[in-house]
Structure 1
Amino acid sequence: MDEKTENITTSVDKQSTDGNYASGSKEKGIFQSVTARYAKVDPHTYLRKEGESSKSFWFRRLIQIKPVELLWDDAEQSELKRALNAFQLIFVGIGAIIGTGIFVLSGLAAAQNAGPAVTISFIIAAIASAFAALSYSEMASMIPVAGSAYTYAYATMGEFVAWIIGWDLILEYMVGAATVGVGWSGYFVKFFAVASNGRIHFAESWTSPTLTWIESPPSIYRGEGHYFNVPGFVIIMLITIILIVGIRQSAIFNTIVVTIKLLVILIFIFALCGFMYPPNYVPYIPENTTGNWHFFGVPGIFAAATTVFFSYIGFDAVTTAAMEAKKPQRDLPIGIIGSLVISTVLYIAFCTIMTGAAKYTDFLGSSVPASVAVEKVMERTGKNFAWLNILVALGAICGLTSVLLINMLAQARVFYSMAQDGLLPAIFAKVHPKFKTPWVATLTVGTITALLSAVLPVNLLGNMTSVGTLLAFFIVHLGVIVLRFTRPEVPRKFKIPGGKYLSLIFPIIGMVISVALIAVAEVTTIWRLFIWMGIGWVIYFAYGIRKSKFNRDPVGRFAEGKRGLPDNTREDEQGYQIEQYEYVPNTNSPNYRA
């Protein structure tokens, strides 16, 4: 058997063994027909059938899936460097998770939505994230390919849904990084202020975003004297350079800053745990007096959960580094679940201490809630905690820096995957010959993110990111269910516990939670998501569907894989020129050993 066909199992004549090989046979049941669409990898079925109308073919292209086997081939042939182990992947997850949520949004959610009960909001968001983490872990162990939810959607629901999720992930990663850039600038200013005892002060005109957003009533305007967020812009461009230089260097840098921020968070918790002021917890759930259910009361807790859900965004970023992991099928689930568990414990402890150290109303309008908590303890007790304020500011800077790094790494890999499929210009799939990183995608992502951070406010960006992520989680949950029935034979290093059917309760509950959290988001946030998706649809139908490799040359797209294509073909009764074969996993590959 030659190299081109070494991983292909050629069937004898399936029509003679089961009496009905043709994929369009009328005798098959609906379920069998759907399953066959996933189980039989036949590039010629992606072509237009004889006598098929252009309208029918056009709609059929929208739901054409990218088979799991072809995704495996893409991973095997990737030019990206495999350099990350399980420990580094956990730090990638923590690096992306712990940042803006704990150092910025925790205070805003407490002051505007939930009061001291913001801790419950974090628990609700953690539960929703846990269901998503299980689904992501199963998908990552089965399809260890860069692209995250975009890739999973392509393998389960077809190209159009994949594009929607890929476009949606821009909200999660790129816009999310811009949110972090705004918070980073605030702590940058705070650090110099507390370290110099107020002697060094940066003007807001060059350290705050140009625009200001008010949720109710919805309005956006240019802030008085606000020109450009220079610190946010500069740090994002520096991170971009680090990401271009190499994945190993990026991982080392991430490990250092994550270690620093974890130490600072632990110091904050243990230093202030003896200075909690019980009256600050009263009322634990403030009464809603505004008439708007988003503000306080029990509904306010769920509204805050939508906001702080942004705090857990990041564990899914682990999956975007799949092509740079040494043992992706084993280590990706470890990275996803491990980082989420560690981050959740720290969030709950941090918020409990923060809302006990200061009244929730003290956090209103502040983007540095940890520093506010320290200052209120100093005012109340007279003790000198200036050293802790300096540490908190330093830890926040390190924490937000790691989030920037991982979000931008993830976004560049999504661009890379979409460009490989032809849905984005091929230049985004270009890998640097020396550094082995998708440098064009990284540079593009970095520049756009830096500009967004310099101009847009944190509350506008944060809410958009949360809703976009929930949509991606919904698709991943659905993808797990689809592949359980359509591709049960595909090896899974990690499988959601509970058996074949009982385990499906977890992705189903995850889907319900995702929809519920989207429903309680601000109406203006949902409208912004719809507008963003509308723009994405225009780009897809104007460019993506015409340039897609599956649509332009599906047989050639399959031939790019090492598995190649055999020569034995015949025409079936539906007009397809089909191949008599099925793909099987390459059991000799170190990345896909069952």
Structure 2
Amino acid sequence: MNVSKYFKRKPINELVGEAEESKDLVRSLAAFQLILFGIGAIVGAGIFVLAGEAASHYAGPAITVSFAISGLACVCAALCYAELSSMIPVSGSAYTYIYATLGELAACIMAGFMTLGSFLSIASVASGWSGYIQSLLADFGIYIPAQFSATTGCVVGLDGSSQVEAIFNLPAFFIVMLITYVLYKGIQTSAFVNAVIVFLKMSVLFGFIMVGAMYIDTTNWEPFIPKNTGEFGQYGISGIIAGSAMVFFAYNGFDAVATAAQETKNPQRDLPIGILGSLIIATLTYVLVAGVLTGLVKYTELGVAQPIAIAVDKMGLPWFSLLVKVGATAGLTSVVLVMLYSLIRVLFVISKDGLLPAFLSKLHPEYKTPHILTLVCGFLIAIAGSTVSLDTLVPLANFGIIGTFATVCFAALFLRYSQPNLKRNFKCPFMPVIPIAGMLILLQIMSSLPNITYFYALIWVGVIVLFYIFYGQFNSKLHAQK
């Protein structure tokens, strides 16, 4: 058996040539739209939900430092993404970079983790969207029947002491299928919808920062770093580290910009701008929102599902609470849109490479979108998000995300020294310090994940390897080349 073929790499000049010659997807995105795409994917459930949990249980007011640490790790990864995307402007993102660096089998494993992370993240966000939209509708006296308000088997309390078992989370199903339709219609429609949503949610967050700053009680920041309880991760310095691991999920999505490479007018220039611009804006927003949040409410009171809403109540401005719910709903909507878009584009490239069935990469004759793949992904995620409680699998999604970012740091480092003469329209500064620092910080964050996560990850790798052995290697277009 020729094992070396599993590590056959796709030449970078071939990847670039294919991207430049491809007429499959329409190039219509500019740098500003890419920044909005990145913000659309990043700013969502993390800041509207996780900030309160992390402050309450791990870092206290120093949650701002936790966000900064996770942001620093992501900036390191983003600089590496920016260099690679300027060299290899192909929609496959990390999958394509690993294909050119470590070979086909490693690229398949990377694609598997990217797919799993995106799938679980989108389904989880859809479930969170359901909670916010139901709360918003309730303010107007509109209620969804309890049987269709939560995931299958979830016990929902009714008025009084009665309870009912949920059958199906209808709002979660609805939002995924609605976004699927938007993506089915094409990238221009998707970009416009995302731009409107991003403007709405960022306006709400900036409003929260500016209005909330006037109501801050500085005694809520004392002590800034609560004393450790004696257990790792419960306040103190270790709590800041544990907090950074929890809020890392809030940064998931900036890499979605790289998946728009073949629909970008000038990918070599605009992709680095989109990746770094969206991440910097999101990081600054997170730190400021977390600072105002812990200044308005004592950190011990923030362990709730809607921490920002609690903070708004402290201001005594009920009208602003409604705006926050609208902003949160909009924020989660854009996350579903951009992450589903990203997942579809990665799978599109994999199908074009022959590692998934070819029919999945067929384009709609009018909209020029991978319509079959869009419908399949949208429907499966809609079903998962409306029927399965995914809380226990979210750490696995984080494992995939962190692992992807760390591997991209390695790929940038490897290619810089193995192929130094390749054209790079953007170069990661302070090489090799940045990618090495990124890998070390990311691996430190990964080490705090539950042990069961590693078991699930091993099983998933086994599934991917078996699929590649029995299908991928026999249909790979790279192997078919003589």
Taking structure 2 as the reference length, the TM-score comes to 0.94
- How has the CA–CA distance of structure 1 residues 210 and 113 changed in structure 2, closer, same or farther, with 3 Å as cutoff? farther
Contact 1:94 1:315 in 2 (8 A): yes
| Residue of structure 1 in register with 2:11 after alignment | 67
Residues of 1 paired with 2:130 and 2:52: CA distance?
Answer: 16
Quote how far apart the aligned CAs of 1:550 are: 2.1
Q: Which residue in 1 is equivalent to 2:309?
A: 371
How far has the Cα of 1:420 moved from its partner? 1.0
What does 1:210-221 align with in structure 2 at a 5 Å threshold?
210=152
Alignment match, 1:240: 180
- Tell me the distance in 2 between the aligned counterparts of 1:61 and 1:548: 11
Aligned to 1:48: none
Q: CA deviation at 1:508?
A: 1.1
After superposition, the C-alpha distances for 1:111-150 in whole angstroms (9 at most, x for unaligned) are 3322222211111100000000100000000000011100
Match of 2:69 among 120, 124, 146: 124
Q: Residues 401-442 of structure 1, C-alpha deviation per residue, up to 9 Å, x if partnerless?
A: 111110000000111111111111112211111111111111
CA positional deviation for 1:104: 1.8
Which residue is 1:310 aligned to?
Answer: 249
1:8-36 Cα distance to aligned partner (Å, 9 max, x none) = xxxxxxxxxxxxxxxxxxxxxxxxxxxxx
AA in 2 matched with 1:305? S
Asked whether the 8 Å contact 2:361–2:373 carries over to 1, the reply is yes
- Structure 1 residues 315 and 461, CA, compared in 2 at 3 Å: closer, same or farther? same
Tell me, in whole angstroms, the C-alpha distance in 1 between the residues paired with 2:76 and 2:222.
Answer: 32
Q: Does 1:332 align with 2:271?
A: yes
201-210 or 354-363, larger mean C-alpha shift: 201-210
Report the Cα distance in structure 2 between the residues aligned to 1:397 and 1:545, rounded to whole angstroms: 43
- Residues 195-344 of structure 1: matches in 2 within 5 Å? 195-196=139-140, 199-202=141-144, 205-210=147-152, 225-289=165-229, 293-344=232-283
Mapped contact 2:146–2:164 kept (Cα < 8 A):
no
In structure 1, C-alpha distance between the alignment counterparts of 2:130 and 2:57, rounded to whole Å: 22
Which residue does 1:142 correspond to in 2?
87
Distance 1:443 1:277, change over 3 A: same
How much does 1:471 deviate? 0.6
> Is the counterpart of residue 179 in structure 1 residue 124 in structure 2?
yes
Structure 2 residue aligned with 1:472: 404
What is the identity, as a one-letter code, of the residue corresponding to 2:457? L
Find the partner of 2:375 among 415, 421, 443.
Answer: 443
Amino acid at match of 1:239: I
- Structure 1 residue identity aligned to 2:76: F
Compute the displacement of 1:287 (Å).
4.2
Partner of 1:413: 345
- Report the Cα distance in structure 1 between the residues aligned to 2:300 and 2:457, rounded to whole angstroms: 30
Q: Secondary structure at the match of 2:90?
A: coil
1:71-111 alpha-carbon deviations (Å, 9 max, x no partner): 12221224101110011001011111101111122222223
Quote how far apart the aligned CAs of 1:317 are: 0.5
Q: Which residue of 2 aligns with 1:584?
A: none
The CA deviation at 1:524 is: 2.5
Aligned partner of 1:559 in structure 2 is: none
Take 2:390 and 2:199, find their aligned partners in 1: how far apart are those partners?
25
Once the two structures are superposed, the pairs formed by residues 475-490 of structure 1 within 5 Å of their partners are: 475-490=407-422
Distance 1:456 1:477 in 2: 33
What code does the residue aligned with 2:401 have?
T
1:55-94 counterparts in 2 under 5 A?
A: 55=1, 57=2, 59-75=3-19, 76-94=21-39
**What's the counterpart of residue 533 of structure 1?**
461
CA shift in 2, pair 1:268/1:243, >3 Å: same
Report what 1:356 is aligned to: 295
User: After superposition, what is the alpha-carbon deviation per residue over 1:441-491, rounded to whole angstroms, capped at 9, x for unaligned?
Assistant: 111211121122113446435432222111111111111122112222221
Q: Say if 1:307 and 1:462, in contact at 8 Å, map to a contact too.
A: no
Q: CA deviation at 1:300?
A: 2.5
2:460 partner letter = W
Q: C-alpha deviations, 1:289-330, integer Å up to 9, x for none?
A: 4x6524433222212212211111111100000000000000
Residue matched to 1:576:
none
For 1:493, what is the secondary structure of its paired residue? coil
Q: Report what 1:512 is aligned to.
A: 440
CA drift of 1:285 comes to 3.2
Q: Would you say the 8 A contact 1:180–1:404 is kept in 2? A: yes
Cα distance in 1 for partners of 2:402, 2:249 equals 10
Q: Tell me how far apart the structure 2 counterparts of residues 105 and 282 of structure 1 sit (CA, whole Å).
A: 21
Question: Alpha carbons of 1:440 and 1:463: their partners in 2 closer, same or farther (altered >3 Å)?
Answer: same
- Shift in Å at residue 541 of structure 1? 2.0
Measured in 2, the distance between the counterparts of 1:413 and 1:396 equals 26
Q: Which amino acid aligns with 2:109?
A: I
Q: Read off the aligned partner of 2:472 and give its amino acid letter.
A: G
Deviations 1:173-232, CA, capped at 9 Å, x for gaps: 222111211211111122123x43xx44445542233367xxxxxxxxxx9733322111
1:486 partner letter:
S
Residue pair 1:90, 1:336 contacting (<8 A) in 2 also: yes
Percentage identity across aligned positions? Answer: 41
**SS at 2:462's partner residue?**
helix
Q: 1:424 to 1:181 in 2, by over 3 A?
A: same
Structure number with the higher helix fraction is 2
Partner letter of residue 350 of structure 1?
V
Match of 1:396 in 2: 328
Q: Which amino acid aligns with 1:545?
A: Q
1:183·1:458 contact (CA, 8 Å) conserved in 2?
no
Q: Which residue matches 2:160?
A: none
- Match status 1:167 vs 2:105: no
Aligned CA distance change for structure 1 residues 233 and 296 (closer, same or farther; 3 Å): farther
Matched residues in 2 for 1:113 and 1:224: separation? Answer: 34
After superposition, the Cα gap between the structure-2 partners of 1:110 and 1:460, relative to the gap in structure 1 and judged at 3 Å, is farther
Question: Residue 321 of structure 1 aligns to a residue in which SS?
Answer: helix
Distance in 1 of aligned mates of 2:466 and 2:384? 22
Counterpart Cα distance in 1 of 2:25 and 2:428: 29
User: Greater Rg, structure 1 or structure 2?
Assistant: 1
User: Displacement, 1:333?
Assistant: 0.2
Point out where structure 1 has 5 or more consecutive residues left out of the alignment. 1-54, 213-222, 556-594
Q: Distance in 2 between matches of 1:362 and 1:541?
A: 52
Partner residue of 1:546? 474
Paired with 1:407 and 1:211, the residues of 2 have a C-alpha distance of: 27
Judged with a 3 Å threshold, the aligned counterparts in structure 2 of structure 1 residues 296 and 450 are, in CA distance, closer, same or farther, namely farther
